Amino acid sequence: MPFKPFATVPGDHAVFRPSDPISKRAVHVCILGGGFGGLYCALALHRRLGKGSPVRITLVEPRDRFNFTPLLYELLTRELAPWEIAPAYRDLLKHTAVDLRQDWAEHIDLAQQTVTLRHGDPLTYDYLVVALGSQMRPPATPGSQSHTLPFNTLHDAEQLERRLGELDHLPKVQVVVAGAGPSGVELACKLSDRLGSRGHVTVVDRRGEILRSYPARLQRAAARALAKRGVEVYLNAAIDAVDAGGLTFGYEGKPRHCQADLMLWTVGTVPRSWLGENNLKQTPFGQCQVRPTLQLPDYDNIFVLGDMAAMPAPGRERAPTTAQAAYQAGPAVAKNLLALIADRPLKPFVYNHLGDMLTLGQGEAVVCGFGLCITGRLGAFSRRWAYWLRLPTMAHRWRVLRYRLGGNSSHSVPTK
Ligand SMILES: Cc1cc2nc3c(=O)[nH]c(=O)nc-3n(C[C@H](O)[C@H](O)[C@H](O)COP(=O)(O)OP(=O)(O)OC[C@H]3O[C@@H](n4cnc5c(N)ncnc54)[C@H](O)[C@@H]3O)c2cc1C
């Protein structure tokens, strides 16, 4: 059981006031992973506690930049600059009491309440928040790892940009995207617009439909966008092998070889594994089983959220593995953590599905929610606005807005 250094705080919100009795020692909250779950939890904790609080917050994150993944595609068409969607943690956390450790967490010792780091000294925690996200599904197709590029991070987007630069001299560029899920469809549309008449984009998926599990209206809008760009789509097509010149897949009972100068692999992700004892309760998909409050079943002082956790969701088996779900869970965990420290009742996390959004090329998007489906330029504007509101800090949001309204002047804006 975690120790509880604060007396109960009356009232509905777990906000600490200067008059709250404080125990003899400070409390240490460790957050592993600075993505949508972890960073937004750290920022919410800071907002609720303020500076000078006896609650120490340490965020362990190996990258130097937060990656706002839903907007990564905009880098390919240069609609957004890297600093807008991947602000440095140093800047985001500058005026907060969050201590950033740029390191990998390697092992969690539940009994000793310690986290081993790859480079730095181990951390001892009173409360732990684990939000390590997902990683690429281990490659099962021969050649896929060595001949295709992933698209999950800013680093991947930069790698793709370099590869596109290497192909600049070609009069025609053949691109194959493996996977017709959201990443595959969004990449296909953006790359098609980026390459224009030089490009020929093909999407291959072993399933029978694009964007499985998305609303039919959104699937139709995506199919129209792909068709408008001349993107060739092969469904019910299982990829057998990938080599330097292209990929081979079975289609309508026959093997086919599709030549490619550039191949992208977007066939799904799996949750990152728990860093420690393997006897935690997990779902068949590999997510940690959590209580409705997002605590681990046997550990009051450990919260798991985001892609790694089977988070509850009304009317669904579990919340989707999306930024939308992790972004909602971060502040909910912060609230519960403070309630736990203050010895007050915790509240169940309630996922609220706000809709679905996809970019469908340069200046085009589809936004479906609350019975409405907006497409085209209006869709692109609505999506950009919705994401602007969700950028990590107010300061970063204003910086981006000033830059956009100021005619993209490079004044006081980082070069990266
Ligand atoms: C290209 C792309 C586009 C996407 N588009 C959308 C979209 O349009 N809408 C949507 O809702 N979702 C989208 N998603 C999904 C969304 O990004 C994830 O669901 C969301 O990021 C999950 O949040 P998380 O906090 O669980 O993990 P993440 O945001 O992935 O954060 C995990 C963090 O943990 C860090 N980490 C990993 N291992 C360790 C370790 N050992 N020690 C310390 N830190 C570690 C990682 O560096 C990372 O920063 C997209 C994903 C991708 C890849």
pLDDT digits (tens, 9 = 90+) for 1-57: 443 343 333 333 344 443 444 444 589 999 999 999 999 999 999 999 977 788 999
Which residue has its alpha carbon closest to ligand 1 atom 51?
A: 69
CATH of domain 27-62+103-135+270-341: 3.50.50.60
Alpha-carbon span 303 to 332, nearest angstrom: 11
pLDDT average, residue stretch 380-389: 96
End-to-end CA distance of the chain: 45
Please tell me the predicted confidence (pLDDT) of residue 61.
98
With a 6 Å cutoff on the Cβ, whether 387 touches ligand 1 is no
- pLDDT of 382 reads 96
How far, in Å, is the centroid of ligand 1 from the Cα of 22? 35
CATH number belonging to the domain at 138-267, selected among 3.30.70.141, 3.50.50.60, 1.10.357.10, 3.20.20.70? 3.50.50.60
Ligand 1 atom with the smallest distance to the CA of 151 is: 1
Ligand 1 contact via 183 beta carbon (within 6 Å): yes
CA 17/CA 48 separation, integer angstroms: 10
* Ligand 1: residue whose CA is nearest its atom 48: 35
Please work out whether the CB of residue 105 comes within 6 Å of at least one atom of ligand 1.
yes
pLDDT tens readout for residues 42-68: 999 999 997 778 899 999 999 999 999
Considering only CA atoms, give the Rg of the chain: 23
Q: Smallest Cα–Cα separation from 134: which of 291, 305, 294?
A: 305
Average pLDDT, the chain: 91
Ligand 1 lined by 96 (C-beta under 6 Å): no
Which one of 36, 154, 183, 190 would you pick to mutate in the ligand 1 pocket, going by the greatest count of ligand atoms within 8 A of its CB?
36
CA 300, CA 289: separation in Å to the nearest integer?
13
Structure tokens at 202: 């093909």
Q: Report the atom number in ligand 1 closest to the C-alpha of 134.
A: 30
Could you tell me where in the chain the CATH 3.50.50.60 domains are found?
27-62+103-135+270-341, 138-267
